């Protein structure tokens, strides 16, 4: 039984080895097929060259765009710097101007307060000697 199985398998193997290569050898391969393959390869090379050209063109465009975006970003930063710097200078000028404008008014107010204190002292001295003045100062709330 074993021997028959081995003989059958061996014969199937021999048939496969001898018949299949013979079938593939029967396929005709002509000069026209060779030329067609050569033309396809040349077309493929041309397509590859065009793709390479497009890649370099796209890379150049992207580099140009990146450079332009960098320039725009730098310009924007400078613009904001100048804007905020100008605002700071303006605020400084306003504060300085306000202080210099208020200084004479503050000085005048101090002088008026000193004079009013002196007048109040003088009135109190007069009120100590004159009862009518004393009564008037009490009525106003100064005594």
User: Whole-prediction pTM value?
Assistant: 0.44
Dihedral over alpha carbons 116, 121, 124, 129 (to 10 degrees): -130
What digits encode the pLDDT tens for the residues 108-143? 999 999 999 888 888 888 888 888 888 888 888 876
Q: Which two structure tokens, joined as six digits, stand for 135?
A: 């009564």
* Alpha carbons 41 and 97: distance in angstroms, whole number: 83
Residue-wise pLDDT tens digits, 38-89: 999 999 999 999 999 999 999 999 999 999 999 999 999 999 999 999 999 9
């Amino acid at each position: 039984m074993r021997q028959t199985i081995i003989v059958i398998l061996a014969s199937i193997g021999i048939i496969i080895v001898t018949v299949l290569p013979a079938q593939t050898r029967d396929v005709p391969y002509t000069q026209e097929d060779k030329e067609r393959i050569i033309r396809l390869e040349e077309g493929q090379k041309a397509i590859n060259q065009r793709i390479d050209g497009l890649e370099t063109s796209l890379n150049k465009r992207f580099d140009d765009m990146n450079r332009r975006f960098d320039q725009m970003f730098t310009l924007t930063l400078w613009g904001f710097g100048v804007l905020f710097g100008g605002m700071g200078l303006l605020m400084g000028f306003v504060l300085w101007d306000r202080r210099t404008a208020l200084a004479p008014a503050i000085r005048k107010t101090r002088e008026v307060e000193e004079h009013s204190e002196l007048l109040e002292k003088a009135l109190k001295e007069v009120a100590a000697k004159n009862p009518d003045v004393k009564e008037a100062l009490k009525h106003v709330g100064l005594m």
